[in-house]
Amino acid sequence: MSDCPLCDAPGGRVLWQDEFCRVVLVDEPDYPGFLRVILNRHVREMTDLVPEERSRLMVKVCKTEQVIRDVMRPDKINLASLGNVVPHLHWHVIPRFVDDPHFPNPVWGEKLRETSHAVPAELEAQLAAALNSLV
Amino acid sequence: MSDCPLCDAPGGRVLWQDEFCRVVLVDEPDYPGFLRVILNRHVREMTDLVPEERSRLMVKVCKTEQVIRDVMRPDKINLASLGNVVPHLHWHVIPRFVDDPHFPNPVWGEKLRETSHAVPAELEAQLAAALNSLV
């Protein structure tokens, strides 16, 4: 075991993966469809990757964004690579709705309301199918 | 005038620009060296760009990250494209230090302390020089 939770465990329900990275569904009840694209190996920053790897990772982040847009039709997408707590490169890909708990704040900001958003039935299966249908 | 502040104004002190995007220094007293990479034209999401444009923008974001690392030696870099308030594609590139006001929280989260970080002399000039020395 390392001391990195993203080296020791998937970090969510794995919907897609290859030898380079994985896409996981995050368990955030306020944010159904919140996905993370996680580099498999332990690297801190985008600029610790060679340019071809940065590009490969961002292509997957953008494909994940497109999947969320296609399946969920959010009002906005939020992308972020922070890693202050877990410095293992991972991208948050977050569907945002104008009536979600924090909008227009970031999901890490002040909570403004309780959500009434219904979780689409079969959401996980839809996201997984869309991710796996991509070339 | 449009109703978009990033169409109507630079959105910060412009340190570098071309016909596609610009890099601006944000006026955030708690976060010296906080830069934004702003697409010049009004587009909401990364996936509203064609893949070649996404790549071009992320190459600039990564170069900006490298400049901040070289000049400021932060403990972590935070990258984010949110746009909930201003849905005009822009990337936050934020140097984080373990003793900055919010660390390890995101800068949009709870403030944990006042900062005692000295702003490096000539920081703006150093960042601008580094950005303009890139190919």
- Percent of chain B scored above 70 by pLDDT? 97
Cβ separation A62–B46 shorter than 8 A? yes
Q: How confident is the model at residue A34 (pLDDT cuts 50, 70, 90)?
A: very high
Reported ipTM: the value is: 0.96
pLDDT band per the 50, 70, 90 thresholds, residue A82: very high
Judged by CB atoms closer than 8 Å, whether chains meet at A62 and B44 is answered as no
For B111, name the nearest residue in chain A, comparing CA atoms only: A109
Output the pLDDT for position A115: 82
What does pTM read for this prediction? 0.97
β-pair type (B76-81, B90-96): antiparallel
CB within 8 Å: B55 and A51? no
Phi, psi of A92 (to 5 degrees): -80, 130
Q: Is the pLDDT of residue A118 over 90?
A: no
Question: Which pLDDT score, from 0 to 100, does residue A2 have?
Answer: 79
What mean pLDDT, rounded, does chain A reach?
95
- Please give the mean pLDDT across all residues of chain B: 95
- The residue of chain A nearest to residue B79, with distances taken between CA atoms, is A81
Phi, psi of B90 (to 5 degrees): -150, 145
**Can you give the pLDDT at residue A121?**
82
Cis peptide before A104 (omega within 30 of 0): yes
Nearest residue on chain B to A81, alpha-carbon basis:
B79
**A76 and B62: CB-CB below 8 Å?**
no
Stretch A124-128: mean pLDDT: 97
User: Which residues of chain B are within 8 Å of residue A72 when distances are taken between CB atoms?
Assistant: none
pLDDT in tens, A68-79: 999 999 999 999
pLDDT at B121: 83
Q: A44 and B76 in contact by Cβ < 8 A?
A: yes
- Mean pLDDT throughout B106-112? 97
pLDDT > 70? residue B135: no
Q: Among A55, A70, A82, which would you mutate to test the B interface (most chain B Cβ atoms within 10 Å of its Cβ)?
A: A82
- Confidence category of residue B132, pLDDT binned at 50, 70, 90: very high
Mean per-residue pLDDT for A74-91? 98
Sheet holding B13-17, edge to edge: A13-17, A21-25, A35-39, A90-96, A76-81, B76-81, B90-96, B35-39, B21-25, B13-17
Quick one: pLDDT at residue B116? 66
Share of chain A above pLDDT 90, in %: 89
